[in-house]
């Protein structure tokens, strides 16, 4: 039993370097067959990884036979372009030859649309289909013409976003204090005495009157959920309920009200319940 165990024991080897003259041991390493196998596999994996990195991340890959370089890729793209051009030329010649045959035989020539549809695998539009499409197109044209026949306000209202609206300048002057969303959500515009204040858009006057703090003030409701406010006026030229157009005189600039500091227009522009910067849409 002890002999069998001995026979199955691991066989170890030793590699030793000895000085030939003095026979002194310089280096010694003990190893087995398993150690040699593991070392060989590790070296092979490291070598293969190093080769892969060199091929993948360096220009050495262009030296591999059959690997496409930049010139090869450029030639492939140019060939694809030439093939596409040749296909277009062949299509034109097919169209020309087919129409020539039809004319000679007294048939109706092909239209380019039918040829393109045939190339895409679609069926050619019949005369009945063309008549139905023409009828639908004419009905659509009549509906659009009926909507735009009169003024832009007739029929169904067509509300534009605020960015697409054309605002009239309420007062030509100098912006003395700009818009600040937190501290000053409006503009102060100074102008000479007796300058005319005008409506920025078509709308309806929803309030016009006097307050001790704001002086003569007028508010106008416009389409698109827009409200314009004009404060500290010297005199109002419109009253509540009046319809106004863009550019219509509505007041005379002044300095009325306890918060006013000299003649100027306090102008506010509201969109969907929020004060916005008028200089984004109006040139003062």
Residue 251: give its domain's CATH number: 2.70.70.10
Total domains, the chain: 2
Q: Is residue 152 part of a domain?
A: no
Give the range of the structural domain holding residue 252, as residue numbers without chain letter. 167-280
What are the pLDDT digits (tens) for 127-140? 666 677 677 667 66
Q: How far apart are CA 187 and CA 181, in angstroms?
A: 11
Q: Is residue 206 part of a domain?
A: yes
Q: Is residue 207 part of a domain?
A: yes
Q: Is residue 47 part of a domain?
A: yes
> Any idea what DSSP says for residue 23?
-
| pLDDT(263) > 70 | yes
Q: Is residue 153 part of a domain?
A: no
Better-predicted residue by pLDDT, 3 or 61: 61
Q: Are the beta carbons of 220 and 266 closer than 8 angstroms? A: no
Please, which pLDDT band fits residue 68 given cuts at 50, 70 and 90?
low
* Last residue of one domain, picked from the residues 11, 35, 53: 53
Better-predicted residue by pLDDT, 237 or 11: 237
The model carries a pTM of 0.46
Q: How far apart are CA 199 and CA 222, in angstroms?
A: 10
pLDDT above 70 as % of the chain? 77
What is the C-alpha end-to-end distance of the chain, expressed in Å? Answer: 111
- Rg, Å, the chain Cα set: 45
Q: Is residue 33 part of a domain?
A: yes
What are the pLDDT digits (tens) for 110-161? 665 555 555 554 455 566 666 776 776 676 666 666 655 544 444 444 556 8
Please, which pLDDT band fits residue 55 given cuts at 50, 70 and 90?
confident
Q: Is residue 83 part of a domain?
A: no
Q: Is residue 87 part of a domain?
A: no
């Amino acid at each position: 039993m002890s002999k069998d165990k001995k026979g199955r024991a691991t066989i170890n080897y030793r590699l030793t370097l000895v000085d030939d003259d003095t026979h002194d041991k310089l280096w010694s390493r003990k190893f087995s067959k398993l150690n040699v196998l593991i070392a060989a596999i590790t070296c092979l994996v490291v070598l293969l990884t190093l080769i892969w990195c060199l091929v993948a991340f360096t220009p050495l890959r262009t030296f591999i036979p059959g690997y496409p370089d930049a010139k090869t890729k450029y030639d492939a793209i140019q060939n694809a372009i030439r093939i596409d051009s040749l296909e277009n030329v062949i299509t034109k010649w097919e169209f020309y030859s087919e129409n020539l045959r039809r004319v000679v035989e007294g048939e109706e020539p092909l239209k380019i649309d039918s040829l393109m549809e045939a190339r895409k695998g679609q069926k050619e539009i019949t005369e009945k289909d063309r008549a139905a499409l023409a009828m639908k197109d004419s009905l659509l044209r009549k509906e659009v013409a009926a909507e735009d026949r009169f003024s832009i306000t007739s029929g169904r209202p067509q509300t534009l976003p605020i960015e697409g609206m054309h605002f009239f300048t309420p007062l030509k002057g100098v912006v003395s204090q700009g818009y600040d969303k937190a501290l000053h959500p409006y503009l102060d515009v100074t102008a000479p005495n007796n300058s005319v204040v005008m409506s920025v858009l078509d709308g309806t006057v929803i309030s016009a009157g006097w307050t001790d703090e704001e002086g003569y003030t007028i508010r106008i409701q416009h389409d698109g959920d827009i409200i314009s406010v004009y404060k500290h006026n010297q005199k109002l030229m419109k009253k509540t309920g009046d319809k106004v157009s863009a550019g219509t005189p509505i007041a005379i600039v002044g300095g009325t009200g306890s918060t006013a500091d000299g003649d100027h227009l306090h102008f506010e522009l509201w969109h969907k319940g929020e004060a916005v910067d008028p200089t984004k849409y109006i040139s003062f």
